[in-house]
Structure 1
């Protein structure tokens, strides 16, 4: 079964309804003003001129004839605006991109001072051997053409630092590529390459390689010798096995999605990796070693694989901000994942999870993580050996400022707290925090500092504390949409709750309420209401057990006419 889609290279064809320029018309683009500019700057830009051939005048620009040159004063008394022979600059930058060129003349070899040559977006099928004369070239762009091989003379360009031949018809890569020892960036994506030569490991200055969308089935073993490599893109191939990446100590980005990879390779020693993409493969597990070694990992994409379990050790990826495990075979998640401090995007849809309801998954990352945190027991806490993140100094508590700024979340869950200083809420206001999680602490009253962020606060979690009552100021948190006061000691709600018409989800389960408050109409705004675990006389437990709709129906019937 083919796992990945084939991406076709973008090709440019001459539309027959348009006029194809003659050689004379092509030559007319080399005007005297352009010649003067070239002589002054050493740069010639002929991109997007509809050229069907390289203008012949381009090769005579530096000849001193009446036809193609401006008047040049050989004395040193020329006017300021006139050219003087000692100031003429050789051609160093040539841009022939985005035309309809089918070949490059052999005369190109005369411009031996060229350092940058752009030939992309044409209809070239080959390159002249004379290209090898341009030994000062540092940048060469021939992407989006129809080239199927490179002349052997090309590998004389030993000063080349940036080479792009993407979106062509290249079918093989010569071992001579090892001669391009100055290469720093190499883009051979969207070709027909079945194999990379082993000599690629000699290109020790390479920082970026892109060989995506080819026909690769493996990587050469010496690719791990590229000690300067920062970015490796091997996506959209047919690779089944990857060598251990441990020697790529500077690697930061790995794109390996849409292959046939069956297991995650070793990364021991790759402490700089920040982003890894393994989506659309055949990976069955997340190795423990991977979780232990990737200490700086921020993005991990494992969607559309065959993963069945997620190890508890995934919480070692403390800097993870995005995690995609969607469309796998996962049935359970470690509850400790709810404690991952920087996780802002967590995708888990398309699995067969037993412990999280689909409606919670659809609500998004914050709700999923909150649900996992709420399930953590004392035994779980001992198992994961969670160290309290509370830091005290002059009676101040310092939350995770990164999370506040980037996720708009104030997370002080599981800190054994009895109070939160107002300075903490002042910082939360500056970060425009919308979510506050204070669950599983020892609060006996709601922190008054919440008023400071009333203009932003939409979600509040104070579950698993020791609250006996809610303050009247709760009504001033007018933008609250979600409140969780479950597993406290609440016996009633303040009447001011009736003014909180923005509230849509209220969890009051497992408290000490034995009767409903005289604010029944308030509950009519609620979309989710959980009251189970309270010693109500009315409504009966059978009604509570049927959920929100059943409870609201009962309450509506109690509204006096």
Structure 2
């Protein structure tokens, strides 16, 4: 018998010596000991097909050194080390997660993204301290109901998986502030999604959604909602109740109309690559705070005149539509910086003009604006003012803007207010003149114009007081008084509770009353830079609505410049710390 035959007869594997012995994946004791000290363990990109058992038992089993007769200094006492709070397992080849994950009960962050997980263990629900759970780029087809018991979870990212539905219990994640479900196969959403009242970011893009649940109206804190690349044919009007919404993405859907949303804080609306054929006046009137409006790759043929009322608009994208005629009044939009028109069959505009940029295009459109025809029974359509300059009534009619700036005048002509009579003016600009006071006619106009005054601009004058009648401007949101001669915070401003922005930079203000400022619940921006403030009252730190507080250029000693440089939150925190109880 040959030696090979003998080996076979004795049931001996002749290739055993060439086969590598399979060993349990282990992590070095040095790495584990470091994790015991820091509470963090990074095992990303290690080619792991399973989580080593000694990782699961990190907080249970003593280190190998503990079995030896050695002495430990203060930094090496394993029995005094911290529990694991952060475990990173991303970019491996994990196909499953053991129930032993429950042994790491102190975890705050668990990162499992970019693996090959097709399911999750129910034991995941026992990690009650978990704040962040990252599951993106796996092969998950469902989520265990137990995951929805994680009451402390703040961020849940599950993009790029194979989810077709969500458990109804997802609404129990009451502290969730970020939820990313993008790039899955979702065809519908559970109504309980509306119970996530702490949610601020919700990403639903690249799914198969045909409608949105009405329960989304309950998400009062959501600032960003992305529903791009779905199959939506309409957007429920109830989304208007999402009062904090600032960014809404609806690209690549099947919308035929611009959604009618009266969200008061909506600044960015993206509806490119849909089937919108016309814009309705009512739809545009709702966009009171819009800054970016993307309408590219639709089927628009005309743009209504009402679009010129969007005074906050900075970017308008009309690329690749069917627009043949362009409104010359677009050039009157006061904040428009970017206007995109490529890919439209425009008539009367040279193609090379579109390539020269927004400034040249707006300049050309302004040149095309014609004055209103003069009738025999009325005076001049453009009034001659003391500065010998003319003003365009179209700004008052279409932009609701009352403008008399850079005239070097010491008073505002009565003719200007006559022209504004009957118009619901929302913005007044009297900057860069030489006014020392607000004339009585102005105060009277303010008194009767209760709908006017969403914004007042009186910078670069010589004002030192404001008329008390201004308190009747019940919708005044913004007032700009930079470069004047105010010695104190104007008394009347303490009474205008709708104020959101007050700019008083470069005056002579020497004092401000924080207790009265606290009553301005909407005040978020306050500029007191370059004034005469010798001290900043600590109680100003209690104005927690402030998001921008500017104090540079005043002669006070505290807060110091290093604290001011850290931003508004740091300044307010510092001031609160100095309040004596």
Quickly name the TM-score band, shorter chain normalised: 0.5 to 0.7
Match of 2:246 among 240, 245, 252: 252
Aligned to 1:223: 216
What's the offset of the Cα at 1:83?
Answer: 1.4
What's the offset of the Cα at 1:93?
Answer: 0.8
Question: Is the Cα–Cα contact under 8 Å of residues 406 and 433 in structure 2 kept in the other structure?
Answer: no
2:403 pairs with 1:389 = yes
Q: Tell me, in whole angstroms, the C-alpha distance in 1 between the residues paired with 2:110 and 2:68.
A: 29
Q: Tell me, in whole angstroms, the C-alpha distance in 1 between the residues paired with 2:410 and 2:357.
A: 32
Aligned to 1:177: 170
What's the offset of the Cα at 1:265?
Answer: 1.7
What's the offset of the Cα at 1:23?
Answer: 6.7
For residues 55-70 of structure 1, the aligned pairs below 5 Å read 55-65=52-62, 67=64
Question: Is the Cα–Cα contact under 8 Å of residues 52 and 99 in structure 1 kept in the other structure?
Answer: yes
Q: Tell me, in whole angstroms, the C-alpha distance in 1 between the residues paired with 2:407 and 2:39.
A: 63
Greater RCO, CA 8 A, separation 6+: 1
Q: Tell me, in whole angstroms, the C-alpha distance in 2 between the residues paired with 1:124 and 1:54.
A: 12
2:202 is paired with a residue whose SS is strand
Deviation per residue, 1:340-395 (Å, 9 max, x gap): 12222111121122232222122221122111110101118545535553325866
What's the offset of the Cα at 1:67?
Answer: 3.3
Question: Is the Cα–Cα contact under 8 Å of residues 32 and 69 in structure 1 kept in the other structure?
Answer: no
Aligned to 2:550: none
Aligned to 2:90: 97
Aligned to 2:327: 334
Match of 2:146 among 145, 153, 169: 153
Match of 2:35 among 20, 30, 38: 38
Deviation per residue, 1:288-344 (Å, 9 max, x gap): 233323222111100011112111111121121211111112122221101112222
What's the offset of the Cα at 1:152?
Answer: 1.6
Per the normalisation by structure 1, the TM-score is 0.63
Q: Tell me, in whole angstroms, the C-alpha distance in 2 between the residues paired with 1:286 and 1:394.
A: 41
2:222 is paired with a residue whose SS is coil
What's the offset of the Cα at 1:217?
Answer: 0.6
2:258 pairs with 1:264 = yes
Question: Is the Cα–Cα contact under 8 Å of residues 201 and 223 in structure 2 kept in the other structure?
Answer: yes
Question: Is the Cα–Cα contact under 8 Å of residues 201 and 226 in structure 1 kept in the other structure?
Answer: yes
Q: Residues 107, 362 of structure 1: CA spacing in aligned structure 2 closer, same or farther, 3 A cutoff?
A: same
2:355 is paired with a residue whose SS is helix
Q: Select between 340-349 and 180-189 the one with higher mean Cα deviation.
A: 340-349
1:363 is paired with a residue whose SS is coil
Aligned to 1:195: 188
Aligned to 2:207: 214
2:79 pairs with 1:82 = no
What's the offset of the Cα at 1:69?
Answer: 5.2
Question: Is the Cα–Cα contact under 8 Å of residues 221 and 244 in structure 2 kept in the other structure?
Answer: yes
2:403 is paired with a residue whose SS is coil
For residues 116-127 of structure 1, the aligned pairs below 5 Å read 116-127=109-120
Question: Is the Cα–Cα contact under 8 Å of residues 57 and 103 in structure 2 kept in the other structure?
Answer: no
Q: Residues 307, 23 of structure 1: CA spacing in aligned structure 2 closer, same or farther, 3 A cutoff?
A: farther
Q: Residues 36, 72 of structure 1: CA spacing in aligned structure 2 closer, same or farther, 3 A cutoff?
A: farther
Give the paired residue count.
377
Q: Residues 73, 162 of structure 1: CA spacing in aligned structure 2 closer, same or farther, 3 A cutoff?
A: farther
What's the offset of the Cα at 1:66?
Answer: 6.2
Question: Is the Cα–Cα contact under 8 Å of residues 63 and 78 in structure 2 kept in the other structure?
Answer: no
What's the offset of the Cα at 1:140?
Answer: 0.2
Q: Tell me, in whole angstroms, the C-alpha distance in 2 between the residues paired with 1:263 and 1:253.
A: 18
Q: Residues 158, 246 of structure 1: CA spacing in aligned structure 2 closer, same or farther, 3 A cutoff?
A: same
Q: Tell me, in whole angstroms, the C-alpha distance in 1 between the residues paired with 2:406 and 2:225.
A: 43
What's the offset of the Cα at 1:181?
Answer: 1.0
Q: Residues 160, 377 of structure 1: CA spacing in aligned structure 2 closer, same or farther, 3 A cutoff?
A: same
Q: Tell me, in whole angstroms, the C-alpha distance in 1 between the residues paired with 2:283 and 2:177.
A: 28
Q: Tell me, in whole angstroms, the C-alpha distance in 2 between the residues paired with 1:231 and 1:168.
A: 21
Q: Tell me, in whole angstroms, the C-alpha distance in 2 between the residues paired with 1:323 and 1:130.
A: 50
2:87 is paired with a residue whose SS is strand
Q: Tell me, in whole angstroms, the C-alpha distance in 1 between the residues paired with 2:362 and 2:159.
A: 42
Per the normalisation by structure 2, the TM-score is 0.61
Aligned to 1:346: 339
Q: Residues 371, 55 of structure 1: CA spacing in aligned structure 2 closer, same or farther, 3 A cutoff?
A: same
- Structure 1 gap segments, 5+ residues each: 1-20, 398-414, 422-426, 428-561
Q: Residues 23, 132 of structure 1: CA spacing in aligned structure 2 closer, same or farther, 3 A cutoff?
A: farther
Aligned to 1:143: 136
Q: Tell me, in whole angstroms, the C-alpha distance in 2 between the residues paired with 1:93 and 1:283.
A: 47
Aligned to 2:157: 164
Q: Tell me, in whole angstroms, the C-alpha distance in 2 between the residues paired with 1:124 and 1:313.
A: 52
What's the offset of the Cα at 1:26?
Answer: 2.8
Deviation per residue, 1:507-543 (Å, 9 max, x gap): xxxxxxxxxxxxxxxxxxxxxxxxxxxxxxxxxxxxx
